Structure 1
Amino acid sequence: MRHLKRILLGLILLLVAAATLVFVLENRQVATLVLFGWTTPQLPMAVFVSAALLVGLLVSPLLGMLFYGRLRMQLVSRQRQLVACQKELARLAGQSAEPAP
C-alpha cells in the first residue's frame, strides 16, 4: 500500500510538471501589465500567470489561518459560557433541592 501511494504521488507530480512545461511553452507571447499607472516590463504571459498562482498559493493559507483563529476564539468563548452556565445550573439545582422554610 505504501509503495502504491508513492507511485501515485510520483505520477501526479510528473503530470503537474508536464502540464506546467506545456503551459509555459504555449504562453510565450509577450505582455505588459498596467496597474494604477505602473507598468511592468514586457515578459511572457506565463510569468504573470505563474506569479499570480504563486501569490494565491501563499495568501490562501494565511487567510485560512486567520479564519481558523477567529473560529478558535469563538469556540473558546462558547466553552467559557458553557462552563459558566453549568455552574449556574448546578447552583440553582442545589438551591431548589433545599426545603423551603
Structure 2
Amino acid sequence: MRRFQQVLLFIMLLIVAAFILIFILENNAEVAISFLSLTSPTLPIAVFIVTAFLLGLVLALVIGYVVLLKVKIKLTLTKKQLAACKKELANKNSATLLVK
C-alpha cells in the first residue's frame, strides 16, 4: 500500500510539473511588475505566476507544519495527563482495597 501511494504521488508530481511547463511555454508575454515604487526586471508573466504559486505552496507547507507541531505537543501533554490520572486512579483503587 505504501509503495502504491509513493507511485501515485510521483505521478501527480509529474502531472503538475507538465502543467507548469506547458503554462510557461504558452505564457511568454514579457511584463514588469511595480510595487511601492520598486520595479522588477521584464520577465515572462509565467515566471511571476509560477513563483507566486511556489511561494504559496511553501507558505502552506510551513503553516501546516506549525499546526501539526502544535497538535503533537498538545497530544503529548494530554497523554502525560492521562497517565497521571490513571496512576492516581490506580493508587486510589489500591488504597480502597487495603482499607476493606
* Structure 1 unaligned regions, length at least 5: none
State the 1:18 CA deviation.
4.2
Asked which structure has the greater CA Rg, the reply is 1
Following TM superposition, the consecutive aligned residue runs of length 4 or more in structure 1 with deviations greater than 4 angstroms are: 9-12, 15-18
Please name the residue that 2:73 is paired with.
73
* Corresponding residue of 2:96: 96
Shift in alpha-carbon separation, 1:17–1:85, aligned structure 2, 3 A? closer
Q: Distance in 2 between matches of 1:12 and 1:81?
A: 42
Q: CA deviation at 1:40?
A: 1.1
Alpha carbons of structure 1 residues 79 and 16: separation in structure 2 relative to 1, 3 Å: closer
Alpha-carbon deviation of 1:77? 0.1
Distance 1:16 1:68, change over 3 A: closer
- Give the aligned CA root-mean-square deviation in angstroms: 2.7
Q: Distance in 2 between matches of 1:76 and 1:11?
A: 34
Q: What's the TM-score once normalised by structure 2's chain length?
A: 0.71
TM-score scaled by length of structure 1? 0.71
Task: Summarize the alignment of residues 10-25 of structure 1 with structure 2, pairs less than 5 Å apart.
Answer: 13=14, 15-25=15-25
Separation in 1, partners of 2:12, 2:55? 25
1:15-69 residue CA offsets vs partner (Å, 9 max, x unmatched) = 5454333311321222222233322122111010111122223333222221111
Size of the alignment, in residue pairs? 93
CA distance in 1, matches of 2:81, 2:11: 49
Q: Could you say which residue in structure 2 is the equivalent of 1:59?
A: 59
Asked if residue 31 in structure 1 is aligned to residue 48 in structure 2, the reply is no
